[in-house]
Structure 1
Amino acid sequence: MSDSKLERITIEPTQEAKACVIWLHGLGDSGAGFAPVVPALGLGSEHGIRFIFPHAPEQAVTINGGYIMRAWYDIKSMDLHERADKQGVEQSEQQIIALIEEQIALGIPTENIVLAGFSQGGVMSLHTGLRLPHKLAGIMALSCYLPSGDSLPKGLSNVNRDTSIIQHHGVEDDVVPVYAGEMAFKLLQGEGFNTQWKTYNMAHNVLPEQLQDISLWLQSVLPYGK
């Protein structure tokens, strides 16, 4: 594997893969952090969904004193408008697009691909999905915000305007304030994107109840759900 390709954990279904979920982790985590959710989703043994949990590249993160960790982009400030390093976002976007194109080459149509993410990974799933020239099955953005803060990304594509988008957030989130996620939701809704917003009584994490909701959503947007 070349250095330009993201290392990842891949969980293959028991039957031929006909759909794919690409799930992006948060700051300082790795693909291993979310890989255990697959059995927790309770999709059954014949779902035909390949799950890919890529590892973000390692880089210095400014707000953490320059400590090197896995990150999709540098965070230079906690201010929402300056939080996401634009160059880093764009570099990670290209690597995520390469992952999607790998799946296309393996015979998975983009209409059967879900782009998902938590925190920084959710920022990347939103940013990449909204600009992608390929039609996706769905976009999942958990506990996150838009990299551009109070505006939608430049270069929006209309291809996924009708694609199902879910945005979840914890009302007690002390890492990404709930208003940041709600702002992203209202911006998307105002532009006519097909998005749904739901809050949970949690902090910056994921709940079993939420995984049940995610499972039902995946089964609704992917033709090989259960």
Structure 2
Amino acid sequence: MSTINATDSLDYIELNPEQEADACVIWLHGLGDSGEGFAGVPPYLGLPEEHRIRFIFPHAPERPVTINAGYIMRAWYDIKSLDLEGRAPLDEVLVSCEQVTHLIEQQLAKGIPSERLLLAGFSQGGVITLHLAPRFKKPLAGVVALSTYLCQPELMATEQAPENSTLEVFFGHGSQDDVVPYIAGQHAVETLTQNGHKVDFQTYPVAHTVSMEELEAVGKFIAERLPVLS
């Protein structure tokens, strides 16, 4: 298996609105999934018909995953231990963050203002979005974090960029999640709040998945932060 480099481009699925896009959501999937896993979600978000949001669903690189007997699958980082403190290795998280940063920069180059770009992520994908967004040096529209946790939360206080130090976050978590424990979501929300972020923390009676009720709430959050411009 070749080494994964920060300069490697990510393949992705792109869904465009009927009119020319003036906003963008980049949505990262979880371990073992692909961009296909969430590419069918937009119709269930309840967005206005006239929305002009482009959706980008990247595919994580393929790599051996230690806790899954070294099987090669799509993952934003390897998981060597289920211990939350060491579950997301910082060096690999940073590589994935840089790869996603390239996707953001591509959208900015296509004319999408940073203030009209929102990051979303589920599980591993949420770890990447929560690590990247507060540190990004141009203001973003917001973050959707689903069933996820933080990589080295103690770093946020000194590393987040002024441009996103008050970034708004929708955080959804299942109360029956046995993959990413609910308490991990609670701890992430506490850290984000302590560092100046306004977090809408919503709990759902599900396991490690996303419910229709949750998607409707996510859609409202996205519509409020990426409104249709007159």
TM-score for both structures, normalised by structure 2? 0.93
Tell me the C-alpha RMSD between the 2 structures: 1.5
- Moved >4 Å (runs of 4+): none
User: In terms of mean alpha carbon deviation, does 175-184 or 157-166 score higher?
Assistant: 157-166
What is the CA deviation profile of residues 139-194 of structure 1, one whole-angstrom value per residue up to 9, with x for unaligned ones? 1110000011x534462212112221111100000000000010010011112212
- Deviation, 1:225, is 8.0
Of residues 172, 175, 178, the one that matches 2:176 is 172
Can you give the 5+ residue segments of structure 1 that lack an aligned partner in the other structure? none
Counterpart of 1:199 in structure 2 is 203
Counterpart of 1:215 in structure 2 is 219
Counterpart of 1:110 in structure 2 is 114
| Percent of matched pairs sharing the same residue | 51
Of residues 16, 23, 30, the one that matches 1:26 is 30
> What secondary structure, in the 3-state scheme, does the structure 2 residue paired with 1:188 have?
helix
TM-score for both structures, normalised by structure 1? 0.95
Q: How does 1:121-136 map to 2 (within 5 A)?
A: 121-136=125-140
- Deviation, 1:78, is 0.3
What is the CA deviation profile of residues 84-113 of structure 1, one whole-angstrom value per residue up to 9, with x for unaligned ones? 121110110000000000000000000000
Q: How does 1:18-167 map to 2 (within 5 A)?
A: 18-148=22-152, 151-153=154-156, 155-167=159-171
Can you give the 5+ residue segments of structure 2 that lack an aligned partner in the other structure? 1-6
The alignment covers a number of residue pairs equal to 223
User: In terms of mean alpha carbon deviation, does 37-46 or 95-104 score higher?
Assistant: 37-46
CA distance in 1, matches of 2:28, 2:146: 10
